[in-house]
Amino acid sequence: YRMAQMKLAKKQRKLRHKVSGSRNYQKQQKRIARVYRHISNQRKDYLHKLSTATAKQYAYVCVEDLNMRSLSNKGFGNGKATLDNGYGMFLFMLDYKLEERGGKLVKVDKFFPSSQICHCCGCRNPKVRDLRIREWICPDCGAVHDRDTNTAINIRTEGMRLVAA
């Protein structure tokens, strides 16, 4: 994918030196369109393979309903990578593939405090809102939590609660 991006940049630089509206300009635009189509097909192929493998392995998939555009603008330094991964397209593909197999895609609300809740005792620790905190200790039960693992467990628990409701 990154190689195709570099190829696209090179073709676009070549276009810059052509006379606008000339025959060579139009030919270069067609070459650029071909690279764009290649990149699009690469992304779709990867997402189809990933969503198919996930749908075959699981009947219910619980995800957090995230706004990727706002995530990419938060200054984490990975804005392009966040938008390039095609999260919305992946969820759409996963949803219809799970429906075909009799499963379900469950979206947990983005305002659910999944990273702040201890999955052992259920207490809420508002200090964990800071994204720099990667591990934390529950003040009630004393369990040590990895932020990402705890969040995943809480999303699964909330998603299964939504399915049962």
What tens digit of pLDDT does each residue of 34-44 get? 999 999 999 99
Give the separation between CA 112 and CA 25, rounded to whole angstroms: 51
User: Does residue 96 or residue 144 have the better pLDDT?
Assistant: 96
Cα(165)–Cα(159) distance, integer angstroms: 10
Confidence of residue 79 (pLDDT cuts 50, 70, 90): low
Domain boundaries, the chain: 112-165
**What is the pTM (predicted TM-score) of this model?**
0.77
Does residue 163 surpass a pLDDT of 80? yes
pLDDT at 113: 87
Q: How does the average pLDDT of the chain come out, rounded? A: 88
Q: How confident is the model at residue 28 (pLDDT cuts 50, 70, 90)?
A: very high
